[in-house]
Amino acid sequence: MQVNVIYNANVYINGNNLLGQAQEIKLPEVEISQDEYKGLGLVGTIKLPSGVEALEGEITWNSFYEDAFKMAYHPFKAVQIMVRADIQKHDAQGLAAEVPLVTILTGNFSKNPLGSYKPKERAEFASTFQAHEVRQLIDGKEVLYFNAFKNEYRVNGTDALANFRRVVGA
């Protein structure tokens, strides 16, 4: 038996290492739209996949970092956000391996705080971003790729939308 755990990660924006500057990052959830299908003669309702919902995430900064906010404040320039995490694989003998989990997103920041301040409390700033592309790799192997502009959705290297693009002539 093997147990995988992740205890920490690091954030990069446009290749800039932001070690220790982000307190937390909430990566988007990949949510598949479901359409209910009901038909005469069917006693049940079927939900069928109909698309991918918008990808939204959030970075909570542990202070104000000018270089990061210069990129976040610009609404018309996409940024690349990379999160590098360490998957620790444990077995009965202890720590068996460590492999990288890398998530790369491209998108735009859509909400940025100007600040909230209280006496004797550290200020925090939470920025919301919208991603139109995501690529996730485990130990260098792609497990997920989605690009809304290109209509591409791959799982473990298999293009789930290849037939759709062929049928609609895209």
User: What is the token pair recorded at 86?
Assistant: 């360490």
104 vs 127: CA distance, rounded Å: 17
* pLDDT band, residue 8 (cuts 50/70/90): very high
- Looking at residues 71-84, what average pLDDT do you find? 96
Q: Are 109 and 79 in contact (CB under 8 A)?
A: yes
Q: What's residue 142's pLDDT? A: 98
- Confirm whether 140 is domain-assigned: no
- Cα separation, 38 vs 106, in Å, equals 37
pLDDT > 90 in the chain, percent = 97
Domain presence at residue 64? yes
Mean predicted confidence (pLDDT) in 147-168: 95
Say if residues 57 and 129 touch (Cβ distance below 8 Å): yes
Query: Residue 166: what pLDDT?
Result: 93
Please write the tens of the pLDDT for every residue from 11-58.
999 999 999 999 999 999 999 999 999 999 999 999 999 999 999 999
- pLDDT at res. 133: 98
Judged against a pLDDT cut of 90, whether residue 124 lies above it is answered with no
75 is a domain residue = yes
Q: How many domains does the chain have?
A: 1
Q: Is residue 154 part of a domain?
A: no
Q: What is the pLDDT of residue 144?
A: 98
Q: Does residue 159 lie in a domain region?
A: no
User: Rounded mean pLDDT of 107-125?
Assistant: 93
Structural domain including 68 reads 3-34+49-134
Domain-embedded: residue 23: yes
* Residue 120 covered by a domain: yes
The answer to whether residue 161 is domain-embedded is: no
| pLDDT at site 102 | 98
Average pLDDT over all residues of the chain: 96
